[in-house]
Structure 1
């Protein structure tokens, strides 16, 4: 820390609360008209970046965070299919954090789609997409799977309708394909009877 005229220059490693107090104290420090904190390192910045990463992750909602007894504590809600907060912390080199998550089901399209994929056990011949509460199933599947998928999808939160117009029963499709491949070649008779 140094004082040059009416300007107080601060250096070092401190948390955001201390930086805020320093700025708020300008009016009560005699002879100080400005506080420069450019060389202060905010020790909370990595944790704040971690909180931002959590809040930007589909299926995670941070409700509360605090620094208590030398440890960060986070309370929030997490969809079971969301990325694990522990993995995010590890990737960002955040330690000394305790997290408490209440389960909930996220209704964003990405997680509705994940829940649908898990619940329906899609065969490799089916494509799935969620748009505005509609589950679109495309390509081919067995008739019994299509019937079960429609029933199971009706209880997936966030879905209002199942669109199967572009989903074909694979049995007639394969039969028609086999018939085309196994059909004898057509010959023209170019001879006349005398």
Structure 2
């Protein structure tokens, strides 16, 4: 009696002694016996012993293609799937990870804009209750994250588009000079980190599209009776229209990336002493400010001053001239 080392005979003996589960297939590949499929660790241990015995003089028994499906091995495999998923995420750096006593421990760095590590557990088969994470804050230099931070901090107007071109962030479009200056500062700061914000394609946008609204507003005056700091009923429709114009221009200016500010200047006629005229002119401006605020105009955008008789609309050679000077005028500035 002897045992042949011919691969076919060895295969039959291995099949009889190891009794592979249905999920494992043994075959001969170029005089090697190859096991493929899935098996629990207990069967794999027996197969490893048989492979070592054959090393003494027989065909190679290759079990590298058999996947361990024991609960522990499955858990470890699921964990590695999760770790690989994390490592593939921009904005996440895995520093350490280990498994111990059925629990999993992981630590590293995470950009606040990166994917939520807890959410990435979904579909991995890892029990979230067994995962212990420690993530420290850092700011990723990945262009996608830098772009998000720039959009949040610079608040580009609708006329500007920020895009990533070959790992460079490029700003294109039209913007007010003030916004371009802020973008230039951001570009200089990024260059210190080896990043590039290209603003060379930006065109300076003067608020020309706002000038029509500005001119219409500056043509409006609120008139007052002699000695009065409150406009009469006839001026209320004028105030209503003015409030709407101011709100609309403020909105349009914001969308263009600038801030509109409105100077309310009170005026008086030459009747009475100059100190009294300055006082009543300032009171008229304050009254109009309060009335515009009541109509929904942002009070932060409204400035007031009293000019007294020093900026007359007309020379006072008639009663008409006097009444034209009892007014509040509006001056619009952009910044």
TM-score (norm: length of structure 2): 0.42
1:168 has 2:204 as partner: yes
State the alpha-carbon separation in 2 of the partners of residues 150 and 140 from structure 1: 14
Larger % of strand: which? Answer: 1
Q: What displacement does 1:160 show?
A: 3.5
Q: Against the structure 1 CA distance between its residues 132 and 23, is the aligned structure 2 distance closer, same or farther, given a 3 Å change threshold?
A: farther
CA contact (8 A) 2:187 2:196 kept: no
State the alpha-carbon separation in 2 of the partners of residues 19 and 56 from structure 1: 34
Q: Against the structure 1 CA distance between its residues 39 and 67, is the aligned structure 2 distance closer, same or farther, given a 3 Å change threshold?
A: closer
Larger % of helix: which? Answer: 2
State the alpha-carbon separation in 2 of the partners of residues 133 and 72 from structure 1: 35
Report the counterpart of residue 134 of structure 2 in structure 1: 100
Q: Which is worse superposed, 38-47 or 92-101?
A: 38-47
Q: Against the structure 1 CA distance between its residues 170 and 12, is the aligned structure 2 distance closer, same or farther, given a 3 Å change threshold?
A: farther
Consecutive unaligned residues of structure 1, counting only runs of 5 or more, are 179-194
Q: Against the structure 1 CA distance between its residues 129 and 97, is the aligned structure 2 distance closer, same or farther, given a 3 Å change threshold?
A: same
Report the counterpart of residue 100 of structure 2 in structure 1: 68
Q: Which is worse superposed, 95-104 or 28-37?
A: 28-37
CA contact (8 A) 1:112 1:130 kept: no
CA contact (8 A) 1:133 1:158 kept: no
State the alpha-carbon separation in 1 of the partners of residues 47 and 148 from structure 2: 47
Q: How does 1:112-131 map to 2 (within 5 A)?
A: 112-131=146-165
1:143 has 2:177 as partner: yes
1:85 has 2:117 as partner: yes
Look at both structures and tell me which one has the larger radius of gyration over its CA atoms. 2
CA contact (8 A) 2:98 2:104 kept: yes
Q: Against the structure 1 CA distance between its residues 148 and 136, is the aligned structure 2 distance closer, same or farther, given a 3 Å change threshold?
A: same
Q: Which is worse superposed, 35-44 or 53-62?
A: 35-44
CA contact (8 A) 1:50 1:89 kept: yes
Compare relative contact order (CA 8 Å, sep 6+) and give the higher one, 1 or 2. Answer: 1
1:153 has 2:164 as partner: no
State the alpha-carbon separation in 1 of the partners of residues 43 and 96 from structure 2: 21
Q: What displacement does 1:12 show?
A: 5.6
1:37 to 43, 49, 66: 66
Q: Against the structure 1 CA distance between its residues 5 and 54, is the aligned structure 2 distance closer, same or farther, given a 3 Å change threshold?
A: same
CA contact (8 A) 1:109 1:131 kept: no
Consecutive unaligned residues of structure 2, counting only runs of 5 or more, are 1-13, 22-37, 213-335
State the alpha-carbon separation in 1 of the partners of residues 91 and 43 from structure 2: 32
Q: Against the structure 1 CA distance between its residues 34 and 114, is the aligned structure 2 distance closer, same or farther, given a 3 Å change threshold?
A: same
SS in 1 for 2:140: coil
